[in-house]
Amino acid sequence: MESTNIYEQEKGLAVLDYQNYPEGIQEYMAVEEAFLLKHLQGAKSLLEIGCGDGRYLEMLAPVVGEILGIDYAEYLVNVSRKRTNNLPNVDVIHGNAKDLSSLLSKTYQFATLAWNTIGNMPPEIHPDVFRGLSQWVEERIFISTYQCSDAVMQERLKLYKNCGYKVNSINGNKVIMEDGQHTAYAYPINYFQELLESNHFSMETYDLGFCGVMIVGNNQNF
Ligand SMILES: C[S@@+](CC[C@H](N)C(=O)[O-])C[C@H]1O[C@@H](n2cnc3c(N)ncnc32)[C@H](O)[C@@H]1O
């Protein structure tokens, strides 16, 4: 049977391909990249949750001391490993972000969940993901996600169409693809505020164009 995780197939790469991005999402990606490059310049260590095809591993390796990428799609772990095999300060492991305590053996200064990685995880695992982040990330987590509005939904629908994904239904800010192959979620800011505060993070937000928002959690525990 075909995998129901779109990122376990080549098809999953379409959503990581700039050529498929409508204008609003191109702007979101460009502002996201500039934001992360600026804020992670000179960082000691970084955990990239949902590293996908490794674009940030490659982009940030020259400015960050050490990076660990984690992804639960084995297919993309292999793509990332190939892309970074000449970068000695980058490592990539296969695993689920809800299991950080069994995957990690040391803490990291920062973590990123870029390009709506958070919206690719079912909400049931979010409490475990945020609990793990509060234990394993010393300073700050950077979560980039979609804003919730009709205009952003229109951009998202253009993206899925360009990627060749067929949308089965839309439920609020959640888009369910045909055959249950993928569900892409987006959440309002107060959803993150609760998750962050209940795990001892304070929150700041920054707009990433009209489509995206960077949610920054500052760990109050360390
Ligand atoms: C939209 S892609 C973003 C990829 C990358 N962060 C980027 O900015 O190009 C989302 C990624 O999150 C990964 N992912 C989703 N749920 C995950 C989980 N529970 N644990 C680890 N990775 C996960 C997917 O396999 C996919 O590679």
Single-letter residue type at 97: A
Any ligand 1 atom below 6 A from CB of 77: no
Instruction: Categorize the per-residue pLDDT at 5 as very low, low, confident or very high, splitting at 50, 70 and 90.
Output: confident
Average pLDDT for 14-26 = 95
Determine the residue of 117, 145, 163 to mutate for testing ligand 1's pocket, defined as the one with the most ligand atoms within 8 A of the Cβ atom. 117
| Cα distance between residue 79 and residue 71, in whole Å | 11
Any ligand 1 atom below 6 A from CB of 121: yes
End-to-end CA distance of the chain: 46
Average pLDDT for 192-200 = 97
Average predicted confidence (pLDDT) for the chain: 95
Determine the residue of 72, 126, 136, 141 to mutate for testing ligand 1's pocket, defined as the one with the most ligand atoms within 8 A of the Cβ atom. 72
Q: What percent of the chain has pLDDT over 90?
A: 91
Any ligand 1 atom below 6 A from CB of 120: yes
Instruction: Categorize the per-residue pLDDT at 1 as very low, low, confident or very high, splitting at 50, 70 and 90.
Output: very low
- Which atom, in ligand 1's list, is nearest to the CA of 96? 20
pLDDT of residue 2: 45
Q: What is the CATH number of the domain that holds 60?
A: 3.40.50.150
Residue 177 belongs to some domain of the structure = no
- 214 DSSP β-pair partners: 144, 206
Q: Which residue has the tokens 């937000």?
A: 205
Residue 81 belongs to some domain of the structure = yes
Domain count of the fold of the chain = 1
Residue 83 belongs to some domain of the structure = yes
Given a contact cutoff of 8 angstroms between Cβ atoms, the answer to whether 218 and 140 are in contact is yes
Any ligand 1 atom below 6 A from CB of 7: yes
Residue 183 belongs to some domain of the structure = no
Residue 7 belongs to some domain of the structure = no
Range of the domain at 42: 18-147+188-219
